[in-house]
Amino acid sequence: MSNEHGAGASLVDAFQRVRATTERLAAPLGPEDQLLQSMPSCSPTKWHRAHTTWFFETFVLAPHGVPSVDARWSELFNSYYVAVGPRHARPKRGLLSRPTLEQIASYRRLVDARVLELLARLDDDALAALRPTLELGLAHEQQHQELLLTDVLNALHENPLRPAYREAGPPPAVARAPGAAVRARFVAFAGGVHDIGAAAPGGFRFDNEEPRHRTFLEPFALADRLVTVGEWKAFADAGGYDEPALWLSEGFDWARANGVRAPLYAERDGGALVEFGLDGVREAHDAEPLAHVSYYEADALARFLDARLPTEAEWEVVASASRVDGSFLEDEALRARPDVGGEGVRQLFGDAWEWTQSAYAPYPGYRAERSAIGEYNGKFMVNQLVLRGGSCFTPRGHVRASYRNFWHPDTRFQVTGLRLARSIRG
């Protein structure tokens, strides 16, 4: 048929590649691992595999008359799409021992085969109509690939034995590895009117990246690299967690109430910061980007370093002129890498998500689609902060300068770090 080459073939390739990546990420995990749910904000690996499959079944296959594998499973694997129907309570996803892991694997295979069969029989016009939904499903699954890793890291951290996610990588032991970061420099940028948001025409984008619009910026400067473990140590050693003048009131109360004295998954051992990651326990080098800190910590640390967090518009204006380069999921390091120095602003993409001071809100003129698909982003635009740039758990092709991630300010189980900014006064 006419879609065997070109557009149809590219969709098939993308679909098979993304679906295979999810299975590869789940492969090191046993059945017990895949059922773990360590807190309500996390989901079991098994559920991620099923939910992403449900998405294709519900939004790609069902509109074309393809029956579901088991209609009862919709309630189990629907996340927050109220318009689709009832949903199993999110905090109880770890209690779903049935369907079994084997049934979930079979579910994925069946739905994959049905999607590929559908793509093979559609003509070019039908493929063009389906493309936005299929691409949304692939981007959605890439988001869940990152969540799969952050969620299993959180779950394995609950085990006192600190088991590693994978066999490869350094052994679960602390090895001293000195290293100082390249001194941060601030790069100045002119103010004025700038365009931000997804450009049109272009490739895939989420609806929250639109519409492209003008925004006014005062002159500012952005640090040329991410804040490091060594800079966090200086903050901690100076009593930063006990100094209310550095903190937002809500953040200071949160840190005291939760006994926060270090990034999540990390603790001090003398002068060292020892952290748990997917490769097990290791000492974090001073030159490595700081990760697993909340917005509250990032804001206080920026203030300690005589700076502030950037706005998302400042970040995007700079990132729009930069190449997407950094440590991503495909590199398999699964941790942020030290900056190696160079000209200009670096580490804008990959390594660690960068907290901004911007509230997650709609862009001027934004309107969510009035359908179940419209529930994807718009209804979460309250009480959350924007992060930019991606992390070492993010698929490389998933991020772009206009990409907007968002989490509540107390979030730390994501690979969240920060970059410094300063205002330039004339």
Least confident of 297-301, 302-306, 375-379: 375-379
147 phi, psi to nearest 5 deg? -65, -35
Pick the CATH number of 7-157 from 1.10.10.10, 1.20.120.450, 1.10.10.60, 2.40.100.10: 1.20.120.450
In the DSSP assignment, the letter for residue 58 is I
Q: Cis ω on the peptide bond leading into residue 338 (within 30° of 0)?
A: no
Give the model confidence (pLDDT) of 238-264 as tens digits: 999 999 999 999 999 999 999 999 999
What does the block give as tokens for 130?
A: 């389906």
- Measured CA to CA, the distance from residue 350 to residue 67 in angstroms comes to 39
Q: Mean per-residue pLDDT for 379-399?
A: 97
Q: Where are the domains of the chain?
A: 7-157, 186-423
Give the model confidence (pLDDT) of 185-238 as tens digits: 999 999 999 999 998 777 899 999 999 999 999 999 999 999 999 999 999 999
What pTM, to 2 d.p., does this model score? 0.95
- The total of other beta-carbon atoms located within 10 Å of residue 335's CB is 21
Q: Mean per-residue pLDDT for 282-299?
A: 97
Q: Which CATH architecture has domain 186-423?
A: Alpha-Beta Complex (3.90)
- The whole-number pLDDT of residue 170 equals 47
Is residue 354 over pLDDT 80?
yes
Q: What angle do CA 44, 284, 236 make, to 5 degrees?
A: 100
For residue 228, the SS3 value is strand
CB 133 within 8 A of CB 60: yes
Buried b (16+ CB within 10 A) or exposed e, 280-307: bbbbbbbbbbbbbbbbbbbbbbbbbbeb
Is residue 169 over pLDDT 70?
no
Q: Beta-strand (E) ranges in 297-425?
A: 353-359, 385-388, 405-407, 416-417, 421-423
Buried b (16+ CB within 10 A) or exposed e, 216-250: ebeebbbbbbbbbbbbbbebbeeebbeeeebbeee
